Amino acid sequence: MSDWGSCQYEGAVKVFDQLRGAEQSSGRMGACQRVGIKVGGNPANQNSLLRVSNQVIDDEKQARHDYGELTHDEPVPESFESFDEIFEWLRDEAWDLWSTAPYLGQLVFPDLELPEDLGENPLTGFWCFWLLSNHVVSSEDCFIGFST
C-alpha cells in the first residue's frame, strides 16, 4: 500500500492503489469502471504545463490580492518547470492534498467528467491516479507530505 504520510489520506490511498492495480489488467478506463468511477467527457483534452502554470500563478496572485499577504512571506513564482513542482509548491503553501489533486486535475483535464457524488477521498485518489497514469506527474512522491 502506498504511504502518503497522514493517516487521514488512507481512503484516497486505497482508491489510488485499487486503480493502479486494476490498470495493470484493464487499462486506465477499465480500472475506473472496475472500482465504480464513471469517467465521461473528453479525458484526452489536456492543458499544457504553461497554461496550467499560468492559471495557478494567476489564481494565487488573485487570492493574495483578495485576502492580503498576511501569511505569505515568499513571492509567487513566475513559472514552474513541472507539474511535480506545482504540487510541491502548493504543499509548501499549506494546501492539503484533498484540494490540490482535484484543483490541478481539473485544470489539466478540463473536459473530464466525474460523478458529482464522489467523496473527498475517492476524488483525491482518482485524481492522483489519473495524473500519474497520464504521465502528468512523474511519481507519486509529489503526493507525500501534505498537511490535513
Using one digit for the tens of pLDDT, what is the confidence trace for 28-66? 999 999 888 999 888 877 889 999 999 999 998 888 877
Does 112 reside within a domain? yes
Does 148 reside within a domain? no
**Amino acid, single-letter form, for residue 146:** F
Q: Which three cell numbers stand for residue 71?
A: 501569511
Domain tally, the chain? 1
- How many angstroms separate the CA atoms of 19 and 129, rounded? 7
Distance of CA 52 to the CA centre of its chain: 12
Does 27 reside within a domain? yes
Does 49 reside within a domain? yes
- How many angstroms separate the CA atoms of 83 and 32, rounded? 23
Domain that residue 93 falls in: 7-143
Beta strand spans in the chain (E): 40-41, 112-113
The helix (H) or strand (E) run that includes residue 115 is none
pLDDT digit string (tens) for 74-96? 788 999 999 999 999 999 888 99
Does 1 reside within a domain? no
Does 2 reside within a domain? no
Does 133 reside within a domain? yes
**Amino acid, single-letter form, for residue 56:** V
Please report, rounded to a whole number, the percentage of residues in the chain having pLDDT higher than 70: 95
Does 14 reside within a domain? yes
